[in-house]
Structure 1
Amino acid sequence: MKELDPAALDCLAALADGGSFERAAQRLAITQSAVSQRLRGLESQVGQLLVVRARPLRLTEPGKVLLRFARQLQAMRADVARELGESLRAQTRLPIAVNADSLATWVLPALDALVQDGVSLELIVDDQDFTHEWLRQGQVLGCVSTVPRALRGCRITPLGVMRYVAVASPAFVAREMGGDAEGGLHRGNFSQLPFLVFNRKDDTQTQWVAKAFGVRSPRLVERFVPSSEAYARAAMMGWGIGVLPELQVRDAIERGELIVLHPEVAVEVALHWHQWKLGDELSGSAPRGARLDEVGDALVRGAHAALGSQAAPGRRARTQEPAGRVVRRSPRPAVARPSR
């Protein structure tokens, strides 16, 4: 294959980011006609359709392959410019995917020094079981994920364990549980009490109930609050029982704004940092100090400080099929997995 046009690859990345030719043109400060021309040239060169012209447009599988290459090329270009003393701060950013609970707790402090130093990041938020798909499709250069195996061309580093506990406000305990924080929630009434749920991907609550009461596939009264900060606030306001990262609600528990229910029961999840190998790293001799490496190193340090670096005991085994689809195997009885 002939050398691919970097400008055309930039157009492909802009189309993936913007979802339309108009937005891609705005991102690149060129005309829509120029975007179309560069895309057609790239498709002609590789002999395959790269973009489905729909609303919003979407990339084909070959388009996703080239998008991964485009992202890596942009990151390496920024590293070279940095070493030469040039600034591409306004043009180049590093997209990474993180889960909402990590973003609400340890991610921002971990990345603060880099951002203050001028690193341009785009944080994409998704469920921690789905951030890996963003990486596979080339939408991001790195992700925080529960998936314990690296994609080909990527490397993986353990981050630590997030521990989730069930909490409720004192007012909720008094109103709905007869004032009994120890025994007011039990096998006979959990299905009548409201549980807070982050979104439709979130099964943290059912995992906690299954572990606490030995019930398979429990059905709950659900109240959806799709924001980590608002979710914690709703729990403190007495909207329902929340299953939240212990790290996030530690202060509220100490202040008496939340009460831990069945403190012997916790949902644990091991998180991992995945990132693409760039440049010479593919041959095993990458120089340290590249921006993506700095982001990964900062996240690993921040996560280890906040979460600890040990893997969750009895963590649910997971593997990947060649096509990248995540397959969940049968968990051990004591294992539970959050989904935010």
Structure 2
Amino acid sequence: MKDLDPAALDCLAALADDGHFERAARRLSITQSAVSQRLRTLEAQVGQLLVVRSRPLRLTEAGKVLLRFARQLQAMRADVALELGVGPDSGQRLPIAVNADSLATWVMPALDTVVQAGVSLELVVDDQNFTHDWLRQGAVLGCVSTVSEALRGCRVVLLGTMRYTAVASPAFIARWLPQGLDRGNFAQVPFLVFNRKDDMQTQWVSRAFGVRQPRLQESFVPSSEAYVRAALMGWGVGVVPLVQVSGLMANGDLVALRPDVELSVRLYWHQWRLGPHGAPPSERVALLDRIGDALVAGARAALGPPGRAQRS
């Protein structure tokens, strides 16, 4: 296969990000017809359809393969630009996927020095069990995930363990749980749920009371910060990271319902290897390694020692 046109690969990445030819053209500061022409040229070069012209657009499996390559080229360009001191191209961002609870607690402090150094990031938020899918599809260059196994061409590092506990406000407890939360009343008590992918509440109830597939009264609050706020306001029982609410628990604003019952979620950092296959760290793309190193250090500071790192 002949060398692929970097400009055409940038078009493919913009189409994946924006899902529309017009928005991709605006992102790249070119005409819509130019985006279409570059895509057709790229498809002709590889002999496969890369984009399904639906609303929104979606990539074919071949398109996802080339998207991974496009992301890696963008990361290498950004790395070279920083080393030369010229700054990355306008509008170019390095996408990584993180779970909402990590974003609300330790991820932003961990990445602060990287961003302050001039790196532009795009943080994609999803459930920790699903961020790995973004990496697999080539939509991001790295992810924080509960998945421990590395994809081929990636490396994975254990970040640490995030511990969750069930909490409620004193007013909520006085109203709903004067005798405490138990096996006989949990089904009548409102529980807060992040979104329909979130099963932390059912996991916690199953562990606390030995009930398989418990049915709960659920209220959905799809923001980590708003979720804690809802618990403070007495909307329901929340299953939250201890690192996020330890201060509120110390002040008595939130109360652990069963301090002896915790859920432990092991988190891993995955990233594509962007240097030559088998290359030592010094020959890989330093920028993505800097992001990974910053996340490992930030997780260690917030969550405790991450344990033994795993590489592949």
Give the TM-score, by structure 1 length. 0.88
- Matched AA of 1:212: A
Q: Is the 8 A contact 2:163 2:265 kept in 1?
A: yes
1:175-199 Cα offsets, whole Å, 9 max, x none, are: 1112x4xxx1000111011100000
**Correspondence for 1:294:** 290
Q: Is the 8 A contact 1:75 1:92 kept in 2?
A: no
1:235, distance to aligned residue in structure 2 (A) = 0.4
Q: Is the 8 A contact 1:129 1:146 kept in 2?
A: yes
User: SS of the residue aligned with 2:122?
Assistant: strand
1:243 equivalenced with 2:235 (yes/no): no
CA distance in 2, matches of 1:177, 1:166: 13
Alignment map for 1:64-213 (pairs within 5 Å)? 64-178=64-178, 180=179, 184-213=180-209
CA distance in 1, matches of 2:59, 2:79: 27
1:311, distance to aligned residue in structure 2 (A) = 5.8
User: SS of the residue aligned with 1:144?
Assistant: strand
**Correspondence for 1:278:** 274
1:289, distance to aligned residue in structure 2 (A) = 6.9
CA distance in 2, matches of 1:107, 1:228: 13
For structure 1, which segment, 254-263 or 282-291, has the greater mean C-alpha deviation from structure 2 after superposition?
282-291
User: SS of the residue aligned with 1:272?
Assistant: strand
Please tell me the root mean square deviation across aligned C-alpha atoms, in Å.
1.3
User: SS of the residue aligned with 2:67?
Assistant: helix
CA distance in 1, matches of 2:177, 2:104: 29
CA distance in 2, matches of 1:209, 1:311: 28
CA distance in 1, matches of 2:306, 2:72: 30
CA distance in 2, matches of 1:214, 1:159: 30
- Matched AA of 1:278: L
CA distance in 2, matches of 1:132, 1:222: 26
The 1:187–1:301 alpha-carbon spacing in structure 2 relative to 1, beyond 3 Å, is same
Deviating above 6 A after TM superposition, structure 1's stretches of 4 or more consecutive aligned residues are none
**Correspondence for 2:54:** 54
- Matched AA of 1:257: D
1:214, distance to aligned residue in structure 2 (A) = 0.4
Q: Is the 8 A contact 1:162 1:269 kept in 2?
A: yes
1:116, distance to aligned residue in structure 2 (A) = 1.2
- Matched AA of 1:115: V
User: SS of the residue aligned with 1:23?
Assistant: helix
Unaligned runs of 5+ in 2: none
CA distance in 1, matches of 2:147, 2:289: 20
Q: Is the 8 A contact 2:274 2:285 kept in 1?
A: no
**Correspondence for 1:234:** 230
CA distance in 2, matches of 1:311, 1:196: 31
1:92, distance to aligned residue in structure 2 (A) = 2.3
1:310, distance to aligned residue in structure 2 (A) = 4.3
- Matched AA of 1:297: D
1:112-171 Cα offsets, whole Å, 9 max, x none, are: 111111110000000000000000101000000000000000000000000000000000
Give the TM-score, by structure 2 length. 0.96
CA distance in 2, matches of 1:309, 1:77: 33
Q: Specify which of 188, 210, 213 is matched with residue 217 of structure 1.
A: 213
Q: Is the 8 A contact 2:87 2:118 kept in 1?
A: no
CA distance in 1, matches of 2:257, 2:50: 52
**Correspondence for 1:317:** none
1:291, distance to aligned residue in structure 2 (A) = 1.1
Percent of paired sites with the same residue: 72
Q: Is the 8 A contact 2:75 2:285 kept in 1?
A: no
Q: Is the 8 A contact 2:27 2:91 kept in 1?
A: no
CA distance in 2, matches of 1:142, 1:211: 32
Unaligned runs of 5+ in 1: 313-340
1:33-56 Cα offsets, whole Å, 9 max, x none, are: 000000000000000000000110
1:237-283 Cα offsets, whole Å, 9 max, x none, are: 11110000000011111111100011000011100000000023x23
